[in-house]
Chain A
């Protein structure tokens, strides 16, 4: 069982590093964002393998959310910036990329629901005994104030994001 855990660890780390390097080397921003997204998902799997299933789920969900935001704005900017102008199959590429992400997410959700990943990690793992119960007790009791402050900071950042995006007269006021 330890060998399976070791092999899965090495596969996850190698994939995370490869996609991280690919996000630097890709010429097109869209592919760079997608590679970064896969690297972040692999980091989420690393956290799950360490026993922090809650942290891994949060990492995967937030990386999905932030990468989706980046993806949407990248596609918008590419349309304006004509980065893919010379590529005749740009619509097909974007469609395939988005479809790939959706298939990846669906596979993840299906495997989680069927208990496939849960069984693997439970059978393969590990002396770690981090449970969601003890983690949440520590989070809400011992670090409750920090959690509230972090949540408020996150809320203010999201509100600031909306305010900055809604500010249409920045250029006009400057002139």
Chain B
């Protein structure tokens, strides 16, 4: 019972893992590009939770895990911006945003 009540780093790791797996599942099975982008963001959020949990439970002055989490948040926003730009251009070519109908990428 005390293991359930006392929140330890393993609880955060499991939460992060579940978020990561949900995002991974969404990335694999989704065909809509927007859904893939959202699933990637959820994957990133699982990773962020893991980094922050390790940083909080293993305290150091450098806060390395927290800083890496900050960079991953920036990367997550960055991939959303780039992904939306690609989706818009793909929509210009194909008139839809389904990933399995994108057969070729021209330079």
A157: Cβ under 8 A from any B Cβ: yes
The binding surface of chain A is classed by DSSP as: helix
- Give chain A nearest CB distance to B16 CB in angstroms: 9
Give the B interface residue count (CB, 8 A): 62
Given contacts A33-B38, A139-B67, A143-B67, contact A66 B80 (CB under 8 A): yes
User: Within the assembled complex, what's the spacing in Å between the Cα atoms of A61 and B40?
Assistant: 17
Measured between beta carbons, the chain A residues less than 8 angstroms from B80 are: 66, 69-70
- The 25 listed contacts between A and B (C-beta, < 8 Å) are A13-B18, A20-B19, A20-B22, A23-B26, A24-B22, A24-B30, A32-B35, A36-B39, A40-B41, A46-B12, A46-B49, A50-B12, A50-B56, A51-B56, A58-B73, A69-B84, A73-B34, A130-B55, A130-B63, A135-B67, A138-B66, A150-B75, A154-B77, A154-B78, A160-B81
Chain B residues near A (Cβ < 8 Å):
4-7, 11-12, 15, 18-19, 22-23, 25-26, 29-30, 32, 34-35, 37-39, 41-42, 45, 48-49, 52-53, 55-56, 59, 61-64, 66-67, 69-71, 73-78, 80-82, 84-89, 91-93, 95-97, 106
